[in-house]
Structures are given as C-alpha cells and as structure tokens.
Amino acid sequence: MKKTHIVLLLLIIVSISAISATFLDFSTYETFGSAAQNPGKSYHVIGFMDKKDGIHYDPLTNPNEFSFMARDKSGRMSKVIFTQGAPPKDIEKSEQLVMKGYYKGGTFYCSGIQMKCPSKYKNDVNVGEKI
C-alpha cells in the first residue's frame, strides 16, 4: 500500500469516529437531583409514577402532551411532562419507568418512556413444592 492510501484510510477512520461521537446519545442513568444540576442535558431517570396524583392529560388542549408526578430511586419527587404524544397504554400499571429527557425550571421534560411492567410469568407455586 502506498503511504497516501494509508493516510487517507486513517483520515476516513478518524472522520467516521468524530461523526459517530457527535450523533450518539451518551446519556446515563441518573436521579432527578443530578439531572437538575445540569439543566438541558439529556438523562435517563429511573423512577415510579405517583399513582395518587395520576396523569393529567387534556387531548383538546394539547393531544401530544401529558404530565404526572414521579419519584426517582433516591426518593425525590418531580413533575414530568411528556411531549411526544398521548399517555402509553397501562402506564398506571407499570412498576417502574425509565424516562429519557432533561430538567428545566424544576420540571423534567420527557421525550421517551420505557415501562417496566409486572411479570405475567410469575409462578404462584414454587418448583418442587407439593400441592
């Protein structure tokens, strides 16, 4: 191989690495407290929906937005506003939520929710237990 080919190949590799580093999402799992310390930066926050407060959704005012209160693993409560559509089906039944978004002005603005629902495959009888 010629030296120019090697240099060109190295430049292509460096360019691809720089472009992929720019566009990849490097968010991490955090709490509402750490997300509030860096407003505008994207995070994944693991939490639980406050079922007493429920979901606030008015499709006539804004069909692409709803809000609810959530508690993270450290116990901090925060208002969460989801801005990407209607509430997911059975969100109230979920055990845990992974919310992707950013903190701004005391509110967590969420662009994605992954629900961790209770397993429907739990055994009621232990293996080897006599009935």
**What mean pLDDT, rounded, does the chain reach?**
83
Q: Which residue has the higher pLDDT, 92 or 76?
A: 76
Domains of the chain: 27-116 (2.40.50.140)
Mean pLDDT of 123-128: 50
Instruction: Please report which confidence band the pLDDT of residue 129 belongs to, taking 50, 70 and 90 as the band edges.
Output: very low
Structure tokens at 85: 């559509």
Would you say the C-alpha torsion 87, 89, 90, 96 has a positive or negative sign?
A: negative
Region of poorest pLDDT, from 10-14, 106-110, 127-131: 127-131
Task: Tell me the per-residue pLDDT of 102-114, one tens digit each, with 9 for 90 and over.
Answer: 999 889 999 999 9
* DSSP characters over 117-128: PPPTT--SS-TT
Mean pLDDT of 68-82: 93
pLDDT reported for residue 3: 87
Residue 60 pLDDT > 80: yes
CB of 61 closer than 8 Å to CB of 47 = no
- Above pLDDT 70, what percent of the chain? 82
